[in-house]
Amino acid sequence: MRWTTSLLALGLLVSLAPAADAQQRADEQGEARRDLRNGNVRSLREIEARVLPTKRGMQYLGPEYDPTAMAYRLKFIQGGRVVFVDVDARTGQILGESR
């Protein structure tokens, strides 16, 4: 009985995780849109147009937005290694890169 309860709880957690992740992405997108509308940040397309040409040979996986820092984190992969590029959303300047 105890094993079955644990298994059911685990199944519930696993089924809710994608929904929570999707909600977080939706919240990030909403914050980015609000900041863009208010003139506080540059558009993601403008940021990508500025950064992607500097990362030749890397495959672009996508962005994340941090409304508190007003920064984008662009995710790339190269040679099996993930590379994060942090970009100031206000200026478009690269803040740093981590592997």
Say which residue, 32 or 95, is predicted with more confidence: 95
Whole-number pLDDT of residue 40: 80
- Give the pLDDT confidence score for residue 35 in this predicted structure: 83
Structurally, how many domains does the chain consist of?
1
For residue 4, pLDDT over 90 is answered with: no
Structure tokens at 38: 């208010």
Task: Answer with the residue of higher pLDDT: 24 or 27.
Answer: 27
Q: Write down the residue that tokens 């995710």 correspond to.
A: 75
Which residue stretches of 1-99 are H helix? 2-37, 44-51
Q: Is the pLDDT of residue 14 over 90?
A: no
d(CA 74, CA 69): 14
Q: Which residue has the higher pLDDT, 31 or 66?
A: 66
